[in-house]
Chains A and B, each alone.
Chain A
Amino acid sequence: MISLAGRDILHGWSKYVLTGLGLGLLIGVTLTMAGVYRGMVDDAHALLGNSGADLWVVQKDTQGPYAESSSIKDDVVKSVRGMPGVAAAANVAYFTLQVSHGEKDVRAMLVGMAPGQPGAPGYLVAGRQPTRSHYEAVADEKTGFALGDEIGIRRHSYTVVGLTRRAVSSGGDPMIFVSIKDAQEAQFLKDNDAIVNDRARTAANPVFNRPGVPGLLEAVQNLQTSSRNVNAVLVQIAPGADPEAVAEPIRRWKHVSVYTKAGMEDILVVKLIANSAKQIGMFLVILAIVSAAIVAFIIYTMTMGKLREIAVLKLIGTRDRTIAGMILQQALGLGLIGFAVGKIAATAWGPAFPKYVLLMPGDAVTGFAVTMVICALASTLAIRVALKVDPGEAIG
């Protein structure tokens, strides 16, 4: 049996293939949009996964270090370590800043951590874990730093000793891991001008600069420049323990907020990126409508272009089903080419995006099914026109 669709495609193949290619680029954009959304969710999960924590102990009544600012004293970790069900606990500091490297600045999230403890980078792609307690950093590849680079953070320069991958903040900024003490200093130590100003201000205050009390002024000034705060305590619970059962006594007795992995995921994925997700969802819907319109339009024009041939077919007694099948097959063929091109294109340009684009196989399957359905629906318009053609037009 002769495939009518195949014959017709063969006849004007270049137009058909080019149309498929164009549709493919559109589908590629749609898949990339979905990938951007998945990437955002994955960034959030990467942040949770990299921390290696089961519980987040944060300042009371705050949502933790990722969603809002949280500051607790760094000795809270000691009391948390003693709570039942806690296997390991470590101080951690997070904050976003510009890191200078030579001429350029890189926006990054600085993570203060203790090597081997929760919060430290779990795996490296090059170099080593820090061995010194100061001035060594492990950077995410995305920062563009190389091993041995000297980077400037506040007043100190750090040596990049290791590189990791996919260690990003929920906003997609690459992470730089340094020791917790360095991070505390970078986060809380004021700049020199501010310190000098504060000293002068304190010295001018008669309450702190009392005659007859030697050492009071110095003591107050030392107090002003030291900080013993961190953003959160990351807790790993003992194997088999129930996170909520471990969290509850800490919440009750230590007067802090404690989030389990599920709670933190809720904050990061549901609350933090909710707006972005809606935005991308809107784009996806619009793109789907536009794709459907374009496919419908293309199929319609293709059909209009061969109305005379269809009339001839009808004249020689071809059944309606065969004609409808031809148009449907062509539409589905366009969808196939478009999907393949789109998938390849999305994979090819995905890594070039500034934000992480995660193309999930599941999304691809859904995308394929939706493409096919849209193509089938879009072809109905053309089929209606084709079936209405008067065979008399063939002789016209």
Chain B
Amino acid sequence: MKLTPDTTRRIFLGALALALIAALAWVALRTGPLAPVQVQTVKVTHGTVSPELFGIGQIEARRSWMVGPTTPGRVLAVKVDVGDRVEPGQALAEMDAVDMDQRLGALDASLARGQSSRAAAQAQLADALAKRALAEANLKRNQDLARQNFISAGALEARTQETASASAGLQGAQANLDATAQDLNRLRAERAALAQQRNSLKLVAPATAIVSSRDAEAGSTVVAGQAVVKLIDPTSLWVTLRVDQGRSGGLAPGLLARVALRSRPGETFAGKVARVDPMADAVTEERLAQVAFDAVPAGISVGEMAEVTLQLPTSESGLLMPNAALQTQAGSRGVWLLKDGGLSFVALRTGASSLDGMVQVTPLDTNALQEGDAVVVYSQKALSADTRISVVDELTPAGAAK
């Protein structure tokens, strides 16, 4: 059959119309809301996870000292500077003594005066002793005379009274002497106390440490308890770690830690959890733990930020899947199970999870999920049980995922 130009044109136009209709149909069914949702599935595996805890914290010194005066005063001199290494007993700073030396001189003079008072009291005692000896001798003689009736009873009574008076005088002198001795003791103690105070104006290092800050300079006035210099023990640096309470299961002393410092992000330092604080932070909802370095890295600074990863013991064997597969549906956590081309939601209880995103799960209904089942891990949009789906190998274009 020979094609006339008219027939060719008809065929051409017909083909054009068909192509248009086909393109329209494709557009309507494969794109937009009517298109099936592309999903990517993953097989549920069986195995263990090595859970890890992650938290951030900052470098702190386990032992630090704030060295300052015990009484308010003016700083006379500061002898060390930030970064200096100090030994126990080394003078760090001195406070101004103001009138303390003069008060010591006054006390010294009082002590000398006390010695003189004691000498006077001793002399009075000797005088009283002599007086009593005389009175006793007189009494004895008068008693003999009275026995022979040479003197009247009244004269004897007068001698007896004289003796009693002398005895009382002696007691008085003795008490005076004691008083001067006590006075002397008091003055000595006062002087010792003042001397002690004078000594405490010298601020000395309590241990081997380095000076972390110098908070007051000569001439400034500080109150009792305010620090003039702060010291830290450089060998006692550790990380005070803050771990989110919700993910802190298993946090315990002794866990192995990897510490990355903000100043050296590429390196990690080994350490161990030294202590877990019994008090958690109620406001930030974090738990606190201290991680000690196996070897304190040189040159790190207190207050620096650190990222800590703690290694927890390997979990027991169970069903594993990526955490991206977990969805929340009507208030319960679970996965979309792909079976016979259809979707069904399986509610799960989640268990241990690793930092790389694998999570251990237990289906609430024991037989709902088996090893090897395909579950939806990625989807183009939120799914429901009657969503039309098409399974693809990769949802994101190649190259997007590294």
Write the residues of chain A forming the contact surface with B, with a CB cutoff of 8 angstroms: 9-10, 13, 17, 49, 52, 75, 87-88, 114-116, 122-129, 131-135, 141, 146-149, 161-163, 165-166, 181, 211-212, 214, 228, 236, 238-239, 337, 340-341, 343-344, 347, 358-361, 364
B187 at the interface (CB under 8 A from A): no
| Contact between chains at B20 and A337 (CB < 8 Å) | yes
Q: Which of A13, A75, A123, A124 contacts B13 (CB 8 A)?
A: A13
Q: Is the CB of A124 within 8 A of B324?
A: yes
Q: How far is the CA of A272 from the CA of B356 in the complex (A)?
A: 40
Residues of B contacting A238 in the complex (Cβ-Cβ under 8 angstroms): 331
Interface check B368, CB cutoff 8 A:
no
A148 touches B402 (CB 8 A): yes
Closest chain-B Cβ to A159's Cβ sits at a distance in Å of: 11
B109 part of interface (Cβ distance < 8 Å): no
Min distance, Cβ B117 to any Cβ of chain A, angstroms: 42
* 7 tightest Cβ-Cβ pairs between the two chains A and B: A128-B357, A132-B54, A133-B244, A148-B402, A125-B395, A124-B324, A214-B226
Q: Which residue of B lies closest to A117 (CB)?
A: B328
Question: Closest chain A residue to B262 by CB distance?
Answer: A156
Given A122-B328, A337-B20, A344-B24: A128 touches B382 (CB 8 Å cut-off):
no
Bound Cα distance from A122 to B354, whole angstroms: 20
CB closest chain-B residue, reference A161: B357
Contact A361 B401 (CB under 8 A): no
- Bound-state CA distance A239–B328 (Å) is 13
Q: Is A165 a contact partner of B357 (Cβ separation < 8 A)?
A: no
Asked if B28 contacts A123 (CB within 8 A), the reply is: no
Residue of B nearest to A346 (CB): B27
Q: Are A341 and B20 in contact (CB under 8 A)?
A: yes
Chain B neighbourhood of A214, CB < 8 A: 223, 225-227
Query: Does B243 contact A133, Cβ atoms closer than 8 Å?
Result: yes
* B79 in the interface (beta carbon within 8 A): no
Q: Find B382's partner among A49, A75, A146 (CB 8 Å cutoff).
A: A49
Closest to A13 in B: B13
Interface residue ranges of B234-286 to A (CB < 8 Å): 243-244, 246-247, 283-284
Beyond A133-B55, A162-B324, whether A126 also contacts B396 by CB under 8 A is yes
In contact, B247 and A361 (Cβ under 8 angstroms): no
* B104 interfacial contact with A, CB 8 Å: no
**Interchain CB contact under 8 A, B34 and A129:** no
- Chain B residues whose C-beta falls within 8 Å of the C-beta of A149 in the assembled complex: 402
A304 to B13 CA separation, bound complex (whole angstroms): 24
- Are B10 and A10 in contact (CB-based, < 8 A)? yes
Give chain B residues whose Cβ lies under 8 Å from the Cβ of A10. Answer: 6, 9-10, 13
The residue in chain B whose Cβ has the minimal distance to the Cβ of A9 is: B13
CB distance A131 to B354 under 8 Å?
A: yes
Judge whether B24 and A343 touch: CB under 8 Å: yes
Smallest beta-carbon distance A3→chain B, Å: 12
Residues of B within 8 A of A343 (CB): 24, 27-28
**In the complex, which residues of chain B have a beta carbon less than 8 angstroms from the beta carbon of A360?**
32-33
Chain B, residues 366-395, CB within 8 Å of chain A (1/0): the string is: 000000000001111111000000000001
Q: How far is the CA of A13 from the CA of B8 in the complex (A)?
A: 12
A340 touches B24 (CB 8 A): yes
Contact among A49, A87, A124, A347 for B378, CB-based, below 8 A? A124
Residues in A neighbouring B189, C-beta threshold 8 A: none
The smallest beta-carbon distance between A362 and chain B, in angstroms, is 9
B111 within 8 Å of A by Cβ?
no
Given the known inter-chain contacts A163-B396, A343-B24, please indicate yes or no for A13 contacting B9, CB distance below 8 A: yes
Task: Name the residue among A13, A126, A361 with the largest chain B CB count within 10 angstroms.
Answer: A126
Given A211-B223, A359-B32, A361-B33, verify A126-B400 contact (CB < 8 Å).
yes
CB distance from A219 to the nearest CB of B (A): 14
Residue among B221, B355, B380 making CB contact with A125, cutoff 8 Å: B380
Distance between B91 CB and nearest chain A CB, rounded to angstroms: 23
B331 close to A239 (CB less than 8 A): yes
Distance, CA A337 to CA B28, complexed state (A): 16
Chain B residues whose C-beta falls within 8 Å of the C-beta of A148 in the assembled complex: 402
B330 interface residue per 8 A CB criterion: yes
Closest to A75 in B: B283
Instruction: Determine whether the beta carbon of A123 is less than 8 Å from that of B356.
Output: no
Chain A hits for B353, CB < 8 A: 131
Q: Would you call B16 an interface residue if the criterion is a C-beta within 8 Å of the partner chain's C-beta atoms? A: yes
Residues of B near A126 (CB, < 8 A) are 378, 395-396, 400-401
User: Chain B's nearest CB lies how many Å from the CB of A91?
Assistant: 10
